[in-house]
Amino acid sequence: MSKDPSEVLESVFGYTSFRANQEELVRGLLAGRDVFGIMPTGGGKSLCYQLPAVMLEGCAVVVSPLIALMKDQVDGARALGIRAACITSHASPEEKREIADSYRAGELDLLYVAPERLSMESFQDFLRSHPNGGPSFFAIDEAHCISEWGHDFRPDYLFLAELKGRFPTTPLVAFTATATPRVAEDIGRRLQLQNPVTVRASFDRKNLFYEIRSRTNGDQQLLEFIADQPEGCSGVIYRTSRKSVEETADMLRRNGVPAQAYHAGLAAEMRTQIQDDFIKDRIPVIVATVAFGMGIDKPDVRYVVHYDLPKTVEGYYQETGRAGRDGDASRCLLLYSPGDIAKIGYLIDQSEDEDDRNRNWTLLRQMDSFASTPVCRRVALLGYFGEEYVAEKCDACDVCAGSFEEVEATYEGRVVLSAVARTGSRFGAVHVCDIVTGANTERIRQFKHHELKTYGLGKNRPKKYWRRVVDALLAGGYLRTSEGQFPVPQLTEAGGLLMKGQGTFVMREDLRIEPEKAGAKRFTSDPPYDVGVFQVLKSLRTQIAEEEGVPPYVVFGDRTLRQIAAYLPQNEAEFSRMHGVGRAKVEKYYDRVAGELACYLSTHSDVQSTPLPVREAAPKVVKGLGGTYLETLALVQQGLKYPEIAQRRGLSESTILGHLVRLKENGEKIDLRQHLAPGVEERAITLLHEHGTESLKPAFEASGEQISYGELKIVVALMQEE
């Protein structure tokens, strides 16, 4: 074997040059030093320990968290001629003996194991049985799992902190695809890395387009997003629970999208089959819990969708990193709903460890801030990992691509800041928004906040709007959140100055049409408009603003005036379709706007209106079966009969039979006959023909109570089917 890593790179791996950062890490390991690589998904981490393992004498031990990840790595290494193996719980005793014999004989380059196995004293003794007295080095993959601040902390990884003490002369190499400076420091400290060769690659995945949308009708938004992707391309949709995974996969199939569910509740053989089908393009879409993809090296995933809010920014980054690993353009969509915070927060609060709760709440709030604040997604994402994005805008996220419009909101900002100040910065954002919108809650009455001057000043806008104002003030540095488990917005120096009338405040408004409003209200762009009409409307706006004592843009934004001047709405329904015009503004302003338009048009007959876009009803989403039906279906697919299913699920046999019939009616491959004992169907048919099917009691009694009501129901369903 050549001693030149560049030659081995070409002869074994088939590459003529290293990717950025790889060679430094490889040479560090070859020199016997500890190594720490922080590299994004798809950055070529595995080569950094596989190549040294080939060149060094002995066998390197790779610690990996997932069996699927180990299997894929071993298969890939063997295809290159590298002597690799993995010892897992799925291996037979014979396979384990063969691998152990190969290790002791010095016939392996790489041995993959899980941290649980490595922590066993007997296995450590086995590692010392190598002719060289131990491994050539330890490679810790997914090293963020050892950090309590990492997005995927695993207690089993904590043993790795003892490796230096157990094998003091053996180099350690740690790799992670996601690590903030805090997590990176924690990893190095726990593993006791000694003056490691450290490489921190850029986290910028230039080929990924990041998009975050408010989740209004998630199923419809998901279907429309998939319809916009190239036909047949691969995609991954992440959901938080097994039940939601099953429901979304079922919904997609019913709407013509070939999709499969993947989660830990499936049998291991089924998970393996689904992974294989996805890798080999037999299934284009996978709906999964977040564990999916960690061991899947599929380079051409064209999109990743987070239907629910991820728990951490690091988790979001790693999961989106499974798209576009081949370097081609790919899209990442997050459907954001503030309600997800309460759901995740409830689970966090179940922990009895106060430090654990506080840590996870901090990570969740960082994720919420990232999702709710419309600043360049790339700037925010890289900033989270301590990396500065120097370009003015990335042009590869929804914010930079023009999905948001900058709108002056100085008045609104001052209203919120005043509400925060007048309540002593002691209440959360929801309560602040309740004050501004004039909500009549028990908490507002308790603290007499309905007596504040700011109470109800924003009642002409929905609470969601005011929450966006709070988020924008936080993003702009006018507010900050307090420390602790229950943070509240507090004024900064800049916020105090703005509240007192110094400076202006601009926030970004989302211009995109969401499915529940599509075709019924807003338009993606404005057609040409009559300048004369526009000027008349501006004058009217100024007059109304002076009457109400508010800035003109509070009445109508310029974009609204441009649309009115273009479309010349003829009635309240058409007026309500203008940008920024809700029910309250229709009631307050339509008559005055219509009067001004009529007056102007009476003397300017040459002004022509642009026809309003045709309303296009959003396609109806075919809903899938609920989670309880899918749980029954999963047990049927395991070969259980309906009495067993009823017992396992704690439901009545009648309920389970109802599930079976409904599943059959909905096109599932349910063999109802498998739930009947031999000979029951023929005898039941005879009795049902004799006694009828309106009531099953006569047939039940005529059978001598030998045929159950459940079996009779199944036979009736079979008779109706035929």
pLDDT over 70 at 315, yes or no: yes
CB neighbours (10 Å) of residue 259? 21
CA dihedral 367, 371, 377, 378 (to 10 degrees): 10
In this prediction, what percent of the chain has a pLDDT beyond 70? 93
Judge whether 70 and 96 are in contact, CB under 8 Å. no
Each residue's pLDDT tens digit, 603-659: 988 888 888 876 555 567 777 677 778 788 888 888 888 888 888 888 888 788 778
Judge whether 174 and 140 are in contact, CB under 8 Å. yes
Distance CA 382, CA 206 (A): 12
- Closest by alpha carbon to 163, among 197, 124, 125, 130? 124
> 5-200 sits in which CATH class?
alpha beta
Instruction: Count CA within 13 A, CB hemisphere, residue 191.
Output: 31
- Residue 380's pLDDT is 93
Judge whether 45 and 20 are in contact, CB under 8 Å. no
Q: Please state the separation of Cα 548 from the chain's center in Å.
A: 44
Report if pTM > 0.75. Answer: no
Task: Give kind and range of the element (H or E) at residue 333.
Answer: strand 330-336
Distance CA 575, CA 571 (A): 6
- Residue 518's pLDDT is 43
DSSP 583-600: HHHHHHHHHHHHHHHHHH
> 519-603 sits in which CATH class?
mainly alpha
- Closest by alpha carbon to 622, among 218, 219, 215? 219
Judge whether 438 and 456 are in contact, CB under 8 Å. yes
Q: Please state the separation of Cα 523 from the chain's center in Å.
A: 28
Average pLDDT over residues 171-187: 89
- Residue 514's pLDDT is 57
pLDDT over 60 at 1, yes or no: no
Mean pLDDT of the chain: 86
Average pLDDT over residues 144-164: 83
Average pLDDT over residues 126-151: 89
Task: Give kind and range of the element (H or E) at residue 660.
Answer: helix 653-665
Instruction: Give the strand order in the sheet containing 197-200.
Output: 84-86, 110-113, 60-63, 138-140, 172-176, 35-38, 197-200
The least confident of 89-98, 161-170, 175-184, 660-669 is: 660-669
Whether 208-340 shares its CATH topology with 519-603 is answered: no
- Residue 560's pLDDT is 86
Each residue's pLDDT tens digit, 73-127: 888 888 889 999 999 887 888 999 999 999 999 999 999 999 999 999 999 999 9
Distance CA 91, CA 94 (A): 8
Distance CA 39, CA 318 (A): 11
User: Which residues lie closer than 8 Å to 663 by C-beta, 6 or more apart?
Assistant: 625, 629, 632, 633, 636, 670
Average pLDDT over residues 468-484: 87
pLDDT over 50 at 521, yes or no: no
Distance CA 11, CA 566 (A): 67
Judge whether 572 and 586 are in contact, CB under 8 Å. yes
- Closest by alpha carbon to 457, among 426, 478, 435? 435
Give the relative orientation of helices 627-637 and 242-254 as an angle to the nearest 10 degrees.
90
User: Which residues lie closer than 8 Å to 311 by C-beta, 6 or more apart?
Assistant: 151, 344, 360, 363, 364, 367
Judge whether 702 and 691 are in contact, CB under 8 Å. yes
Check whether domain 208-340 has CATH 3.40.50.300, yes or no: yes
Per CATH, which fold does 627-721 belong to?
A: Arc Repressor Mutant, subunit A (1.10.10)
User: Which residues lie closer than 8 Å to 409 by C-beta, 6 or more apart?
Assistant: 469, 472, 505, 506, 507, 553
- Closest by alpha carbon to 99, among 63, 67, 126? 126
Question: 3-class SS at 181?
Answer: helix
Each residue's pLDDT tens digit, 346-373: 888 888 888 888 888 889 989 998 998 8
Q: In this structure, what are the phi and psi dihedrals at residue 89, rounded to the nearest 5 degrees?
A: -65, -20
Distance CA 462, CA 442 (A): 19
DSSP 5-19: HHHHHHHHH--SSPP
Q: How wide is the angle at C-alpha 220 spanned by C-alphas 215 and 221, nearest 5°?
A: 45
Each residue's pLDDT tens digit, 709-722: 878 888 887 887 66
Domain limits, the chain: 5-200, 208-340, 404-510, 519-603, 627-721
Q: Copy the structure tokens of residue 648.
A: 């396992």
Judge whether 132 and 58 are in contact, CB under 8 Å. yes
Q: E strands within 192-317?
A: 197-200, 208-214, 234-238, 259-262, 285-288, 301-306
Per CATH, which fold does 404-510 belong to?
A: Arc Repressor Mutant, subunit A (1.10.10)
Place of tokens 């602040």: 432
pLDDT over 90 at 341, yes or no: no
Residue 294 one-letter amino acid: M
Instruction: Give the strand order in the sheet containing 259-262.
Output: 208-214, 330-336, 301-306, 234-238, 285-288, 259-262
Distance CA 171, CA 195 (A): 11
Judge whether 70 and 84 are in contact, CB under 8 Å. no
CA max distance for the chain: 100
Q: Copy the structure tokens of residue 129.
A: 């049985």
User: Which residues lie closer than 8 Å to 704 by C-beta, 6 or more apart?
Assistant: none
Place of tokens 């959901």: 239
Each residue's pLDDT tens digit, 525-548: 567 888 999 999 999 999 998 888
- Residue 519's pLDDT is 42
Average pLDDT over residues 251-273: 87
Q: Please state the separation of Cα 303 from the chain's center in Å.
A: 12
- Residue 516's pLDDT is 46
Question: 3-class SS at 602?
Answer: helix
The least confident of 98-112, 154-168, 474-488, 599-613 is: 474-488
375 secondary structure, DSSP code: S
Question: 3-class SS at 244?
Answer: helix
Question: Kind of pairing, strands 404-408 and 506-510?
Answer: antiparallel
